């Protein structure tokens, strides 16, 4: 077995059970029954690996890795830095993170160290290189798992200690060279905030400066730089003795850390997915958000990723924690695979008896051993993955559509004061993504630095900040035949968050002139009439003038009644659309349906999909079509041509039935 196979496994913490050898023996027996082929070891094991400073105990780990290997189970080996042993925090308190309110962490929890701390880096290097020396060539080890969820989930991971402030100033000096340049970029003459000495610059803290957008934006960049630097530091440490590939597990849309930067230092992208299934009867919003996150993980390297963690039943950290309903575990696991995951892994294998996560779902509960519905469903996922491994692992999704999601834009657009205070970038992005999901068209989720050439359609909702060279890239994309869709509140500021003057950077491509943006109260809301039907307009309406663009529809009310709400401009061989106002999902679905038709993009079944059903395609020698039903009810797709069910070999024609929460994999007949 190697990374060219599909992995089925999860976090395994045998160090919590070292005094119960019978449990460890049982684990291996049950892992085999559950079709587990790999486990992640060592994630939070520092205090057992190095119980006292400089005293290393790896024998237990070696025994377990060997024993598992002897039973056909491979290891993803983690560096243990996500949680510090108490001897370390007691001896080196300078390692502890300082929060934005100035409070220094006390020992406890996890992910609570300073990413800049020289002492932390020194200690990480020692334990990581020792581990690499011991296991860095072991035939059972597939992959290094660096730390765990960098940035952590008890806070945003940023640290405001003196060491960080010092490093921040150096980072700024390197970037701007002179204070004049920095003052210009941050527009500091405003409110008399000009800096005359680098020492005067502090990280943004609520009791200090948090209203200088340029400072905030650079601070976000610096935090990503430091966390990425820490990750690279750990990678270099294991590289001293080992050439195994490395990964680090990402989270959802985690604002503090720009994953498009971080991914560059790892070989394989992996992430931890904990969707809120069964929050409501309508699972579609959750399915869409999860699909978008999976797609983003794949799009970073345009290659299969690993689902590093997911729960086989429930989680324990939300206000209420529904257990996955029958078949949801199979569906949500296959959803990850459908979007490019080459693994289904869990947090965790066995529930611990005590502490914070004792009620978090696991493959093995406290009681009942393998006699649970969860164990059975896990076993079924493992069986399916094992059977399909060869077919699936070498394939990958290759979408013709991209939707831009960019961290720097996220930071800037939500930090801006005006035109509304609560722009929700993720929500807006997801609405645009959803139109493609509902149509069954795969989407890459890219950032502004990515190449656009391979796409027919690129959508860039609320693309407020433009990075250098971005406008030129879009212009080339459209000139060469691409279709570009952007919205109100785009092309407003440059990379320093300074407003563009004169004109929108894409004015010629869009063929419009922006004048002003209105954020009307509820009683003043506008509407449009599109092809004979009225659609409501949301909280933002831009007043624009068509120059070379044609007007597709206009505002129906207010002083800007009759002025363009949607425009299309033909430019070179392509076209560019401008949605001047915020629209609801119903209209967006209709609008994007037209764009897909225009670019001859249809889902592989060439069929209308019922609500809650979507399709993703992993392309390879044989294309695999993943048909997913997120309804807790049967769904039927009509008028389909001949297909073969890849799991069962059943031949299908005319009509495809999906049972509640079912995912079927089809290949062309
Ligand atoms: C993840 C974390 C795991 C576990 C899990 C619980 O964020 O990496 O260690 O805590 O959450 O849902």
What are the structural domains of the chain? 7-176+227-393 (3.20.20.80), 401-598 (3.40.50.880), 613-668 (2.60.40.1180)
- Cα dist from 369 to 378, 476, 642, whole Å: 13, 60, 43
Q: Does the Cβ of 273 fall within 6 Å of ligand 1?
A: no
Say whether 149 is catalytic. yes
Q: Do residues 40 and 9 touch, judged by C-beta distance below 8 A?
A: yes
Ligand 1, atom 3: closest residue by C-alpha: 347
The torsion angles phi and psi of 298, rounded to 5 degrees, stand at -70, -40
Ligand 1 centre to CA of 445 (Å) is 24
Q: Do residues 7 and 393 touch, judged by C-beta distance below 8 A?
A: no
Ligand 1 centre to CA of 549 (Å) is 50
Q: Does the Cβ of 274 fall within 6 Å of ligand 1?
A: yes
Residue ranges of the chain with per-residue pLDDT less than 70: 153
pTM for this prediction: 0.98
Measured between alpha carbons, how far is 320 from 14 in angstroms, rounded to an integer?
Answer: 29
Q: How many residues belong to the chain?
A: 669
Q: Do residues 580 and 567 touch, judged by C-beta distance below 8 A?
A: yes
Ligand 1, atom 9: closest residue by C-alpha: 347
pLDDT for 153: 63
- Cα dist from 160 to 104, 108, 157, 173, whole Å: 9, 18, 10, 18
Ligand 1 centre to CA of 347 (Å) is 7
Q: Do residues 484 and 460 touch, judged by C-beta distance below 8 A?
A: yes
Q: Collect all residues with Cβ–Cβ distance below 8 Å to 430 and sequence separation of at least 6.
A: 285, 288, 289, 292
**b/e sequence 63-96, b meaning 16+ C-beta within 10 Å:** ebbebbeeeebbbbbbbbbbbbbeebbeebeebb
Q: Does the Cβ of 309 fall within 6 Å of ligand 1?
A: yes
Residue among 79, 81, 110, 149 to mutate when testing ligand 1 (max atoms within 8 A of CB) = 149
Measured between alpha carbons, how far is 281 from 631 in angstroms, rounded to an integer?
Answer: 8
pLDDT for 142: 98
pLDDT for 111: 87
Q: Does the Cβ of 315 fall within 6 Å of ligand 1?
A: yes
Say whether 594 is catalytic. no
Single out the catalytic residue among 15, 50, 149, 234.
149
The closest-lying atom of ligand 1 relative to the alpha carbon of residue 249 is: 8
Q: Does the Cβ of 346 fall within 6 Å of ligand 1?
A: no
Instruction: Give CA angle at 293 (289, 296), nearest 5°.
Output: 135
Q: Does the Cβ of 111 fall within 6 Å of ligand 1?
A: no
Residue 662 tokens read as 């079912």
Ligand 1 centre to CA of 513 (Å) is 48
Single out the catalytic residue among 50, 234, 283, 309.
309
Q: Does the Cβ of 321 fall within 6 Å of ligand 1?
A: no
pLDDT for 252: 86
Q: Do residues 223 and 155 touch, judged by C-beta distance below 8 A?
A: no
DSSP 8-state class, residue 608 = P
148-197 pLDDT per residue, tens? 999 986 778 899 999 999 999 999 999 999 999 999 999 999 999 999 99
DSSP 8-state class, residue 369 = T
458-496 pLDDT per residue, tens? 999 999 999 999 999 999 999 999 999 999 999 999 999
pLDDT for 152: 81
The closest-lying atom of ligand 1 relative to the alpha carbon of residue 315 is: 12
């Amino acid at each position: 077995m190697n990374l060219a196979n599909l992995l089925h496994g999860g976090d395994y913490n045998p160090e919590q059970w070292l005094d119960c050898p019978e449990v460890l023996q049982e684990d291996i027996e049950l892992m085999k029954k559950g079709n587990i082929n790999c486990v992640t070891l060592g994630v939070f094991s520092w205090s057992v690996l190095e119980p006292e400073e400089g005293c290393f105990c790896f024998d237990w780990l070696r025994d377990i890795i060997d024993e598992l290997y002897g039973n056909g189970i491979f290891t993803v080996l983690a560096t243990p830095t996500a949680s510090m042993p108490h001897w370390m925090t007691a001896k080196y308190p300078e390692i502890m993170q300082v929060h934005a309110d100035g409070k220094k962490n006390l020992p406890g929890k996890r992910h609570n160290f300073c990413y800049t701390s020289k002492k932390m880096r020194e200690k990480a290097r020692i334990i990581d290189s020792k581990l690499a020396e011991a296991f860095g060539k072991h035939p059972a080890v597939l992959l290094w798992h660096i730390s765990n969820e960098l940035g952590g989930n008890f806070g945003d991971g940023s640290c405001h200690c003196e060491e960080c402030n010092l490093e921040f100033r150096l980072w700024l000096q390197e970037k701007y060279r002179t204070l004049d340049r920095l003052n210009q970029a941050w527009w500091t003459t405003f409110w008399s905030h000009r800096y005359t000495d680098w020492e005067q610059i502090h990280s943004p803290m609520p009791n200090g400066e948090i209203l200088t957008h340029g400072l905030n934006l650079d601070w976000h960049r610096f935090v990503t730089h430091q966390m990425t630097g820490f990750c690279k530091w750990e990678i270099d440490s294991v590289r001293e003795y080992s050439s195994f590939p490395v990964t680090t597990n990402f989270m959802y849309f985690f604002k503090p850390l720009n994953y498009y930067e971080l991914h560059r230092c790892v070989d394989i992208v992996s992430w931890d997915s904990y969707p809120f299934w069964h929050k409501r009867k309508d699972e579609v919003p959750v399915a869409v958000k999860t699909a978008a996150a999976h797609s983003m993980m794949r799009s970073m390297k345009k290659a299969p990723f690993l689902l590093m963690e997911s729960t086989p039943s429930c989680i324990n950290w939300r206000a209420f924690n529904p257990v996955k309903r029958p078949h949801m575990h199979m569906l949500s696991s296959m959803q990850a695979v459908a979007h490019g995951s080459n693994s289904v892994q869990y947090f965790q294998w066995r529930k611990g008896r005590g502490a914070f996560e004792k009620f978090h779902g696991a493959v093995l509960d406290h009681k009942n051993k393998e006699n649970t519905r969860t164990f059975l469903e896990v076993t079924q996922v493992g069986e399916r993955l094992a059977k399909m491994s060869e077919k699936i692992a070498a394939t990958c999704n290759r979408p013709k559509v991209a939707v831009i999601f960019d961290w720097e834009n996220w930071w800037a657009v939500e930090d801006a004061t005006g035109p509304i205070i609560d722009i929700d970038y993720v929500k807006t992005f997801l609405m645009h993504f959803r139109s493609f999901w509902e149509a069954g068209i795969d989407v890459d989720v890219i950032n502004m630095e990515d190449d656009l050439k391979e796409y027919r359609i690129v959508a860039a909702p609320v693309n407020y900040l433009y990075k250098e060279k971005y406008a030129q890239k879009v212009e080339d994309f459209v000139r060469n035949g691409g279709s570009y869709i952007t919205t109100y509140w785009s092309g407003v500021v440059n990379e320093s968050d300074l407003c563009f003057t004169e004109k929108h950077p894409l004015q010629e491509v869009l063929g419009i002139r922006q004048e002003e943006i209105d954020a009307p109260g509820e009683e003043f809301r506008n509407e449009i009439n599109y092809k004979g039907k009225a659609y409501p307009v949301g909280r933002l309406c831009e007043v624009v003038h068509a120059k070379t663009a044609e007007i597709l529809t206009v505002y129906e009310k207010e002083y800007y009644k009759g002025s363009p709400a949607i425009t299309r401009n033909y430019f070179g061989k392509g076209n560019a659309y401008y949605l001047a106002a915020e629209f609801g999902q119903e209209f967006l679905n209709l609008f994007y349906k037209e764009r897909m038709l225009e670019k001859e993009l249809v889902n592989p079944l060439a069929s209308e999909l019922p609500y809650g059903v979507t399709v993703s395609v992993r392309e390879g020698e044989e294309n695999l079509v993943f048909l997913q039903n997120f309804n807790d009810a049967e769904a039927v797709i009509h008028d389909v041509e001949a297909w073969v069910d890849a799991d069962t070999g059943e031949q299908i024609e005319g009509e495809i039935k999906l049972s509640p929460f079912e995912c079927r994999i089809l290949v062309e007949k």
